Amino acid sequence: MKIIMLGAPGAGKGTQAKKIADKFNIPHISTGDIFRANLKEGTELGLKAKEYMDKGELVPDGLTCDLVMDRIAKDDAKNGFVLDGFPRTIPQAEALTEALKKIGQAMDIAINVDVPDENIVERMGGRRACVGCGATYHVVTVPPKTEGKCDRCGAELILRDDDKPETVKKRLAVYHEQTQPLIDYYEGQGILKTVDGTLPPESVEEAVFALLK
């Protein structure tokens, strides 16, 4: 089964992607992981991507798609895969559709984890990260035993810049401009399904697995 996870930053799509990958024994594929692996291995595609990254430029859509196609050609993806964070834009989605068509394949389902912006701002604003060991907490759903202190190592817990409301709102604005159109794109292909991401994680998981039966 070939699955795309859609949703705004902080909607929980990455969490659900990992659960799907574990349940169906298929790889959870994110572009960040692919870039890191190719850079580490010094592959031809990785070196091409590095040229852009070293200049602080975005890796072109065509090259990003080539990297993704190279990853899904590996043996562990022969029974399917979960894409998380790719495609991000319509040109990337079109490039992926065409690349899959060339090998006689197509995506099976695109799952949109739908969460209103105000919920995401509140959710991410409650996150706290340990400056020592990197453990993460949430002031409401996963609070530390002692306020402001890590349960594991006792170091200070902080609100990361990425999780501050003003940063989250900027990221959401970019998402609505660039990535939201993907929902219409995959709806047009007849493979879009939406789940309510405001439900507790276990309920979201149940809804996602119900779609995959």
Among 18, 149, 171, 193, the one annotated catalytic: 171
In the residue annotation, 193 being an active-site residue is answered as: no
Question: From the CA atom positions of the chain, what is the Rg in Å?
Answer: 18
In the residue annotation, 36 being an active-site residue is answered as: no
In the residue annotation, 127 being an active-site residue is answered as: yes
Q: What is each CA distance from 53 to 39, 48, 68, 95, in whole angstroms?
A: 11, 9, 17, 21
Among 71, 88, 123, 128, the one annotated catalytic: 88
Among 78, 160, 169, 170, the one annotated catalytic: 160
Q: What is each CA distance from 191 to 7, 110, 135, 148, 151, in whole angstroms?
A: 15, 6, 36, 44, 43
Among 127, 128, 145, 170, the one annotated catalytic: 127
How many alpha carbons fall within 13 Å on the CB side of residue 164? 6
Structure tokens at 99: 């690349």
Tokens 């994680």, located at residue = 201
In the residue annotation, 152 being an active-site residue is answered as: no
Among 13, 19, 123, 128, the one annotated catalytic: 13
* Positions marked catalytic: 13, 88, 127, 160, 171
